[in-house]
A and B are shown apart, each in its own frame.
Chain A
Amino acid sequence: MFQARIYVTLKQGILDPQGNAVQGALASLGYQNVEEVRVGKYLVLSLAHSDRAEAEKEVREMCARLLVNPVIEDYTFELQEVSL
Chain B
Amino acid sequence: MKFGVVVFPGSNCDMDCYHVIDQVLGHPVSYIWHQEKDLAGYDCIILPGGFSYGDYLRIGAIARFSPVMDAVAEYAARGGLVLGICNGFQILLEAGLLPGAMRRNESLQFRCQDVFLRVENAATPFTNQYRRGEVIRMPVAHGEGNYYVDPEILAQLEREGQVVFRYCTGEGEVAPHANPNGSLGNIAGICNRSRTVLGLMPHPERCSEEILGNADGRRLFRSILSWWELAPGKGATACG
Known: A17-B103, A17-B146. A69 touches B58 (CB 8 A): yes
Q: How many positions in chain A have a CB within 8 Å of any CB in the partner chain? A: 12
Which residues from B are CB-within-8-Å of A69?
58, 61, 94, 101
Distance between Cα atoms of A79 and B131 in the complex (Å): 56
Interface residue A18 (Cβ < 8 Å from any Cβ of B): yes
Known: A66-B61, A69-B58, A72-B148. A17 touches B106 (CB 8 A): yes
Q: In the complex, are the beta carbons of A17 and B107 less than 8 A apart?
A: yes
Known: A71-B100, A71-B149. A17 touches B105 (CB 8 A): yes
Nearest residue in B to A43 (C-beta to C-beta)? B57
Which residues from A are CB-within-8-Å of B105?
17
B103 interface neighbour in A14, A21, A66, A67, Cβ under 8 Å? A14
CB distance from A82 to the nearest CB of B (A): 24
Q: In the complex, are the beta carbons of B65 and A66 less than 8 A apart?
A: yes
CB distance from A11 to the nearest CB of B (A): 10
Q: In the complex, are the beta carbons of B57 and A72 less than 8 A apart?
A: no
B104 interface neighbour in A17, A66, A67, A71, Cβ under 8 Å? A17
Interface residue B49 (Cβ < 8 Å from any Cβ of A): no
A18 interface neighbour in B65, B104, B148, Cβ under 8 Å? B104
CB distance from A42 to the nearest CB of B (A): 13
A15 interface neighbour in B65, B93, B182, Cβ under 8 Å? B182
CB distance from A21 to the nearest CB of B (A): 6
Which residues from A are CB-within-8-Å of B40?
none
Q: In the complex, are the beta carbons of B149 and A17 less than 8 A apart?
A: no
Q: In the complex, are the beta carbons of B106 and A15 less than 8 A apart?
A: yes
Nearest residue in A to B93 (C-beta to C-beta)? A71
Which residues from B are CB-within-8-Å of A10?
103
Distance between Cα atoms of A21 and B100 in the complex (Å): 24
CB distance from A64 to the nearest CB of B (A): 12
Q: In the complex, are the beta carbons of A15 and B58 less than 8 A apart?
A: no
Distance between Cα atoms of A15 and B100 in the complex (Å): 14
Which residues from chain A sit less than 8 Å from chain B, CB to CB?
10, 14-18, 21, 66-67, 69, 71-72
Interface contacts beyond A14-B148, A17-B105, A18-B104: sample of 15 additional A-B pairs, CB < 8 Å, sorted by A: A15-B146, A15-B148, A15-B182, A16-B103, A17-B107, A17-B182, A18-B108, A66-B65, A69-B58, A71-B93, A71-B100, A71-B101, A71-B149, A71-B150, A72-B103
